[in-house]
Amino acid sequence: MLRRVGPDDVTAARVLPVDADTLAAAAQIVDDVRDRGEPALRHHAVRLGDLPSDDTPMWLDRDAMAAAARALPPADLALLERTAGRIRAFADAQRAALAPIDVAVPGGRAGHTIAPVERAGCYAPGGRFPLPSSVLMTAVTARAAGVDTVVVASPRPTPVTLAAASVAGADAVLAVGGAQAIAALAHGAGPVPAVDVIVGPGNRWVTAAKQLVSGFVRIDMLAGPSELVVLADDTADADTIAADLLAQAEHDPDARPILVTAHPAVADAVDAALARQLAVLPTAATAGAAVRDHGRCVLCASHAEALATCDALAPEHLEVHTASATDDAARLRHYGGLFVGHASAEVMGDYGVGPNHVLPTGATARSTGGLSVFDFLRIRTWLKLDGGADTRAAAEDAARLARLEGLEGHARSAERRR
């Protein structure tokens, strides 16, 4: 089921988040929405199937979201509220880890303050599998950061998606997706305000548009196909590993389910389990395609090489199924989300046990982390000098350094503080 490769083969198989053709086509949509606003947004939304007609409402307010929440079965609404509470508790703890600073510097004091952005756009996919969990992950986190205005964008939102937006405290839902939604969030269009940050997972059109607008607004990341790497030794349970790999594979035919092990017998057992479970999986068409086309089993010469392979992959999700899972986790360096031990299923992270499920893909975990309250916050620095002797000494140094760089105007500005 999983194509067997060596460490060198799989670590080289990095995938760009978006191809050039999609980027070029998305640019036409983004430019049109930027230039023409709401008429262009509606045109593309109807053309691409987000809205059935020009007169279909695309801007759903708090009353519409609240009505959807009231119409849900009570058990479903309670589930959304419990999940939102767990996400909020983790995000609140992250926010509490940051504090302003106020320190002495030559001639005065300096520091930083922490402030949320004013407006956030939270994208939630609505295609093959609508994801209300992504609404909670993004909008709840934005609110925990203190964002004033939170807009959720999701094409053809289901009642549970609208209910999730209500539970998360969103201000409105834009019932549009794709590049046209991202463009509207970035530049504003009709009732859609221009936001300061855009976050959330999406398809290649969403990713392309996020790349295109990143010069106007902050984005969280450019996410490609979903990835799960499972590190396993001979104590691992093959059926559990297969179930976890298939859970990722059913996201998308381009998903990347990968097993890393130094034990051929484990590879054999996982292959057999995959075949058995795929035979009775309702999403086998999607999951099977991902396993066949992108699934890999990396056979390593040693456990140390398996650990190094996981670091080289720097995957979105990394599960550790080994006898020494806690120690192995401490040795691993590059991953979006880490899941330690048999009980720590990646799907538990998907569905709001605590940490966010919006995570970096394509080895970008080497340089960035997952979505958090930090994506909605700004660190603003300040400086207040008193003009005394220490200020004059610092000004002399500034003037001298400016002249080393050939910037006489800078030097003269500094010298006015001597």
Task: Just list the catalytic residues.
Answer: 316-317
Q: Which has the closest alpha carbon to 297: 313, 279, 284?
A: 313
Q: How far apart are the C-alpha atoms of 362 and 17, rounded to whole Å?
A: 7
Burial degree of 384 (CB within 10 A; 0-12, 13-18, 19+):
exposed
Q: At 383, which amino acid appears?
A: L
Which residues are CB-neighbours of 94 under 8 A, at least 6 positions away? Answer: 144, 372, 373, 374
Task: Give ∠ CA 118-124-129 in degrees, rounded to 5.
Answer: 175
Find where tokens 């401490």 sit: 330
Cα-to-chain-centroid distance, residue 345: 19
CA distance 325 to 128: 34
Q: Which spans in 124-177 are helix H?
A: 132-135, 141-145, 159-168
Residue 180: closest CA among 211, 216, 151, 205: 205
Tokens of 252: 């998308």
Integer CA distances (angstroms), 94 to 85, 87, 283, in order? 14, 11, 36
Tokens 């046990």 sit at which residue? 353
> Strand order of the sheet with strand 101-105?
101-105, 108-116, 377-385
